[in-house]
């Protein structure tokens, strides 16, 4: 199916399979457990399979649909979140559909052959007396299974007593449970913090350095060497692999379009530090130490760390930092002044690091003012002066490009001409630069013209780089986050901006973009998806049960799942993130599937004449095993993911933790809270029925 829709086997689709691995056996597990339940009632193998399959097929179908339908909001996502999580959702849905088809076709067929001996053993045991002890066996697996069954029987008897006691104080229990759920979410939720995606320790550091504006390239190279020597004193030799330096801008203009480091001249350099892949200390600790110590050892130099991992670079959309504060307005000087004011206040925000202005305003520049009247008298224009200077200083490649075609190889070469740099390395050389028109220099007689005769030259400070947003000039403040969550830092940034807006020059606008903006958009869409998934599940159940009440009882397990997610993230110190929200959406479907098993069985008991209290008690008692097996399979399948094992495992760890925490609380809610709510809301059904144990639902003996 993935191939048919154009997807591939990759980390996203494999992540979906890892997410679904615990659920793929649930359908078969519940089906086989129901066969065993009917065989323990004395039915032959064929009858037990037919009755068990008939009883479980609708709840199993609803469980698959509930788990699949929660992913429907994923197709409403936009941007990077859509491309990251839609393949994951598709892998889960296709695997669940295949699992359901096999659980209602292949599993019953295999059970008819492989459980025949089990059915005969049950018949023999029932014929000789239900409570006769099982014969002793020397097989260690059989002995373990028998011991486990005895322990489970005692545990289930204890659960029945607990549920019976809760049903006796049902209203008090419901109030306490709901209060605990609401308080957990309200009290712990604000402490979680918010990030977009978890950081990954890729063993790579990407350091950008900016020397004093106007520094020559050879001085920048010397500075890079000194910085590398210092880094070698911090990071052990066996942990370092290599340094790669990129200094100044590339000669060609095409690579500049893909350069997202903020470089604009020879004073800029990027240093890529690669650590040993097999063993190295935490990269984040090295980054934090260097971020603190480098400015102390190299004063006057600006340092900031850029995203080195591919996923982080994508999430930043090519920006050098996750936070991009853009100040736009018609006057670049006013933009720069207001950006400086914001920059001073942002330096005091806790957790905000690498705060720097992207566009410096003090780049040393030669300002050439042409005397147009005099130039016109000698037959020249300002365009002639510009083209002559451009040809001499840079080459004629933009003014009058020429090409040479090698006919043997078919390769085209540029033919360029420019003044050698050693011939124009003083102000006097610049003043004596010849100026021509129509590409021909007149260097003799009265027609010879030089730049100094046509223009005045002075040194000024200019913007080193001019950026625009919607045509208007723009000044940017880049910053990163360390030791705090992105959401908390974003809130402080918004407060700083709001405080300074009253000093904003006319026409100046401020916007916070970058990963913060993308995160807020993704959060809004995922929270809407979470609510939408619950609504879709409810409407699906309404259609199936032809009732508004029982679907409501089923989804009463979901608030506890949300509380469990919050508790697990809080205990593990995991901030809220897009993967965690995806796990929460997934948890809604699995928690609903377990509640369907309990409520569907309780409805059957009501139809057989039991009152609501007895039906709720029997539903919890009989469905205890499949609910625990379903939840356990899912939780065990999520444990490796929640531990963040393997390269890049940190990125999906919040998803696994959200599912584990949500299912732990949802299972308790399914076994205790849902039967209690069922007994309350169906209290008028069969109210005259005796509240004593009858033979309507015989207790299986293991």
Task: Answer for the pair 163, 621: CB distance below 8 angstroms, yes or no.
Answer: yes
| Res. 116: pLDDT tops 80 | no
**CA 250 – CA 395 distance, rounded (Å):** 15
Q: Which range, of 200-214, 360-374, 580-594, averages the lowest pLDDT?
A: 580-594
- Given a cut of 90, whether residue 497 has pLDDT beyond it is yes
Q: Which of 34-48, 252-266, 321-335, 684-698 has the highest mean pLDDT?
A: 321-335
d(CA 28, CA 494): 52
pLDDT at 529 over 60: yes
Please report how the helices 217-234 and 283-297 are oriented relative to each other, as an axis angle in degrees rounded to 10.
130
pLDDT at 260 over 70: no
Q: For residue 281, what pLDDT band results from cuts at 50, 70 and 90?
A: confident
Q: How many Å apart are CA 7 and CA 99, to the nearest integer?
A: 20
CB 578 within 8 A of CB 196: yes
What's the pLDDT at 498? 92
What's the pLDDT at 646?
A: 67
Contact of 689 with 587, CB cutoff 8 Å: no
Residue 435 vs residues 384, 397, 400, 419, 455: alpha-carbon distances, Å:
7, 17, 15, 13, 11
Q: Is the confidence at residue 40, as pLDDT, over 70?
A: yes
Q: What's the confidence (pLDDT) of residue 647?
A: 65
Strand 467-469 with 363-370, pairing? unpaired
Q: Residue 57: which H helix or E strand, with range?
A: helix 45-69
The answer to whether 631 and 667 have CB atoms below 8 angstroms apart is yes
- Token pair belonging to 179: 């209060």
d(CA 201, CA 277): 10
- The pair of structure tokens assigned to 526 is 């995922």
pLDDT given for residue 183 in this prediction: 93
Q: Is the pLDDT of residue 130 over 80?
A: no
Alpha helices in 477-623 (DSSP H): 486-500, 515-545, 549-555, 558-571, 578-607, 612-622
Nearest to 579 by CA among 661, 655, 638, 486: 655
666, two tokens: 């949802």
Distance CA 232, CA 226 (A): 10
What pLDDT, on a 0 to 100 scale, did the predictor assign at position 89?
Answer: 85
DSSP 645-669: -STTGGGTHHHHHHHHHHHHHHHHI
Say what the pLDDT of residue 464 is.
Answer: 78
- Helix or strand or coil: residue 265? coil
Percent residues over pLDDT 70 in the chain: 91
Lowest-pLDDT range, 21-30, 167-176, 249-258? 249-258
Three-class DSSP category at 352: strand
Q: Residue 306 pairs with which residues in a beta bridge?
A: 206
Burial class of residue 446 (count of CB atoms within 10 Å of its CB; 0-12, 13-18, 19+): exposed
Compute how many other C-beta atoms are within 10 angstroms of the C-beta atom of residue 559. 21
SS3 274: strand
DSSP H/E element including 640: helix 624-642
Structure tokens at 516: 């913060």
Helix, strand, coil percentages, rounded to 5, for the chain: 60, 15, 30
Q: E strand or H helix at 460, and its extent?
A: strand 455-462
Say whether pLDDT at 692 is over 70.
no
**114 vs 129: CA distance, rounded Å:** 25
Mean pLDDT computed over 270-275? 91
- At 634-661, the pLDDT tens digits run 888 888 888 877 666 677 788 889 989 9
Element (H, E) at 269: strand 268-275
State pLDDT tens for residues 222-245. Answer: 999 999 999 999 998 888 888 998
- 149 versus 254: the higher-pLDDT residue is 149
Residue 166, classified by CB atoms within 10 Å of its CB into exposed (0-12), middle (13-18) or buried (19+), is: buried
- Are 625 and 149 contacting, i.e. CB atoms less than 8 angstroms apart? no
Beta-bridge partner residues of 368: 457
* Integer Rg of the chain from CA: 36
User: pTM of the prediction?
Assistant: 0.77
Pairing of strands 472-481, 467-469: antiparallel
Instruction: Give the integer Cα–Cα distance in Å for 125 and 132.
Output: 7
Which three-class secondary structure state does DSSP give residue 243?
strand
Which pLDDT score is estimated for 570?
A: 92
Q: What is the pLDDT of residues 502-516, one digit of tens each?
A: 888 988 999 998 888
pLDDT at 401 over 90: no
Distance CA 226, CA 299 (A): 13
Instruction: Report pLDDT for 569.
Output: 92
131 has a pLDDT exceeding 90? no
Query: How far apart (Å, rounded) are the C-alpha atoms in residues 465 and 365?
Result: 12
Name every residue whose Cβ is closer than 8 Å to that of residue 109 and which is 6 or more positions away in sequence.
none
What confidence score (pLDDT) does residue 319 get? 81
State the Cα–Cα distance between residues 496 and 490, nearest whole angstrom.
10
* DSSP E strands, 276-362: 302-306, 323-328, 352-357
> For 47-61, 113-127, 631-645, which range has the lowest pLDDT when averaged over its residues?
113-127
The predicted structure's pLDDT at residue 359: 82
Between 433 and 54, name the one with better pLDDT.
Answer: 433
- Phi first, then psi, for residue 605 (nearest 5°) are -65, -35
Q: For residue 420, is it left (φ>0), alpha (ψ between -120 and 50) or beta?
A: beta
Of the candidates 388, 387, 385, the one whose C-alpha atom is nearest the C-alpha of residue 371 is 385
Angle made by CA atoms 539, 543, 549, in degrees to the nearest 5: 70
Mean pLDDT of 119-132: 54
Half-sphere exposure of 393 (CA within 13 A, CB side): 16
Q: Cβ–Cβ contacts within 10 Å for residue 321, how many?
A: 26
Tokens standing for residue 520: 């807020």
Q: Chain-wide mean pLDDT for the chain? A: 83
Secondary structure, 3-state, 408-475: CCCEEEEECCCCCHHHCCCHHHHHCCECCECCECCCCHHHCCEHHHHEEEEEEEECCCCEEECCEEEE
Give pLDDT tens digits for 476-485: 999 999 888 8
Q: What is the mean pLDDT of residues 192-214?
A: 86
Is residue 604 very low, low, confident or very high in pLDDT (cuts 50, 70, 90)?
confident
* Residue 192 near residue 487 (C-beta atoms within 8 A): no
Can you give the pLDDT at residue 448?
A: 65
Is the model's pLDDT at 695 over the cut of 50? no
What are the two backbone dihedrals, phi and then psi, of residue 241, each rounded to the nearest 5 degrees? -105, -55
The per-residue pLDDT for 69 is 81
Q: Residue 588 and residue 554: Cα distance in Å, rounded? A: 11
Residue 574's Cα: distance from chain center in Å? 13
Judge contact between 379 and 503, C-beta under 8 A. Answer: no
Q: For the CA atoms of 469, 474, 475, 476, what is the dihedral angle to 10 degrees?
A: 0
Max mean pLDDT range (3-12, 28-37, 491-500, 623-632): 491-500
**Arithmetic mean of pLDDT, 534-562:** 86
């Amino acid at each position: 199916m993935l191939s048919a829709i154009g997807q591939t086997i990759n980390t996203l689709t494999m992540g979906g399979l890892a997410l679904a691995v615990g659920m793929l056996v649930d359908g078969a597990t519940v089906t086989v457990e129901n066969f065993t339940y009917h065989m323990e009632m004395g039915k032959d193998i064929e009858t037990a399979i037919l009755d068990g399959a008939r009883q479980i097929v609708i709840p199993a179908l609803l469980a698959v649909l509930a788990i699949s339908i929660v992913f429907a909001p994923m197709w409403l996502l936009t941007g990077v979140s859509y491309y990251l999580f839609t393949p994951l959702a598709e892998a889960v849905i296709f695997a669940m559909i295949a699992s359901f088809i096999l659980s209602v076709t292949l599993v019953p067929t295999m059970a008819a052959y492989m459980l025949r001996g089990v059915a005969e053993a049950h018949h023999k045991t029932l014929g000789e007396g239900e409570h006769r002890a099982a014969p002793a066996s020397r097989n260690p697996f059989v002995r373990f299974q028998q011991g486990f069954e005895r322990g489970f029987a005692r545990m289930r008897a204890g659960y029945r007593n607990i549920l019976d006691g809760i049903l006796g104080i049902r209203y008090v229990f419901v109030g306490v449970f709901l209060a605990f759920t609401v308080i957990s979410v309200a009290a712990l939720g604000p402490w979680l913090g918010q990030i977009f995606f978890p950081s990954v320790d890729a063993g790579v550091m990407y350091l950008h350095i900016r020397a004093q504006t106007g520094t020559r390239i050879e001085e920048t190279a010397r500075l890079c060497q000194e910085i590398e020597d210092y880094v070698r004193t911090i990071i052990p030799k066996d942990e370092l692999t290599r340094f790669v330096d990129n200094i100044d801008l590339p000669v060609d203009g095409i690579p500049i379009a893909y350069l997202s480091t903020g470089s604009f001249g020879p004073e800029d350099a990027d240093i890529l530090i690669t650590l040993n892949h097999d063993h190295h200390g935490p990269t984040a600790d090295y980054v934090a130490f260097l971020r603190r110590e480098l400015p102390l050892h190299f004063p006057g130099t600006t340092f900031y760390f850029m995203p080195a991992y591919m996923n982080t670079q994508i999430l930043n959309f090519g920006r050098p930092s996750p936070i991009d504060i853009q100040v736009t307005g018609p006057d670049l000087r006013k933009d720069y002044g207001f950006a400086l004011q914001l920059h001073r206040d942002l330096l005091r925000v806790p957790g905000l690091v690498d705060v720097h202005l992207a566009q410096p305003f003090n780049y040393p520049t030669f300002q050439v003012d042409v005397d147009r009247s005099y130039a016109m008298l000698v037959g020249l224009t300002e365009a002639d002066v510009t083209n002559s200077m451009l040809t001499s200083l840079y080459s004629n490649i933009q003014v009058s490009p020429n090409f040479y075609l090698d006919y043997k190889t078919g390769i085209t070469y540029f033919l360029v001409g420019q003044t050698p740099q050693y011939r124009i390395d003083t102000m006097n050389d610049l003043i004596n630069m010849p100026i021509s028109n129509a590409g021909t220099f007149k260097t003799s007689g009265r027609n010879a013209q030089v730049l100094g005769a046509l223009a005045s030259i002075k040194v000024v400070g200019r913007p080193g780089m001019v950026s625009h947003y919607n045509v208007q000039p723009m000044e940017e403040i880049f910053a990163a986050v360390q030791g705090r969550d992105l959401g908390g830092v974003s809130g402080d940034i918004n407060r700083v901006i709001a405080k300074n807006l009253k000093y904003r020059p006319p026409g100046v606008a401020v916007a916070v973009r970058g990963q913060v903006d993308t995160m807020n958009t993704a959060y809004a869409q995922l929270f809407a998806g979470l609510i939408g998934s619950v609504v879709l599940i409810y409407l699906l159940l309404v259609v199936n049960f032809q009732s508004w009440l029982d679907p409501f009882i089923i989804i009463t397990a979901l608030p506890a799942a949300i509380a469990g997610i919050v508790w697990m993230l809080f205990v593990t110190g995991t901030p809220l993130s897009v993967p965690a929200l995806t796990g929460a959406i997934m948890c809604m479907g699995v928690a609903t599937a377990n509640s369907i098993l309990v409520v569907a069985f309780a409805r059957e008991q009501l139809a057989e004449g039991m009152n609501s209290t007895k039906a709720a008690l029997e539903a919890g008692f009989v469905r205890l095993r499949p609910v625990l097996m379903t939840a356990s399979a899912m939780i065990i399948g999520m444990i490796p993911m929640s531990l963040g094992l393997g390269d890049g495992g940190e990125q999906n760890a919040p998803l696994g933790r959200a599912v584990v925490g949500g299912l732990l609380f949802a299972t308790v809610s399914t076994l205790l809270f849902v039967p209690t709510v069922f007994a309350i809301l169906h209290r008028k059904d069969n109210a005259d029925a005796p509240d004593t144990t009858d033979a309507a639902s015989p207790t299986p003996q293991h």
